[in-house]
Amino acid sequence: DVYFNRCSHDYYNACDTASNAFHEWSHSLGYGHPYRRTSDRGLTVPYSLNYAVEKCCADSQGFRGDAMEVKLK
């Protein structure tokens, strides 16, 4: 199962939602990360996926993630 914090998603654009979806999906595959912010937390699979999605969104020409509103019900 993949769980989302719906309170946070009320303020997410499409890229934020995609980034979080990949992050949470990686947890369902068994990948984890330290609960607290540590020097190696960003090197874990969940956070690496965040960075990859954010890079793709930033590199997409003409794409504005904030132009797409995503609402979870």
What average pLDDT values come out for the chain (73 residues) when binned by 10 residues? 76 87 92 89 90 85 50 44
User: What confidence score (pLDDT) does residue 48 get?
Assistant: 92
Backbone φ and ψ for 63, nearest 5 degrees, come out as: -95, 130
Sequential DSSP letters for 13-45: BHHHHHHHHHHHHHHHTT----SS--TTGGGSH
User: What confidence score (pLDDT) does residue 64 get?
Assistant: 54
Give the whole-angstrom CA distance, residue 24 versus residue 2. Answer: 6
| 0.85 exceeded by pTM | no
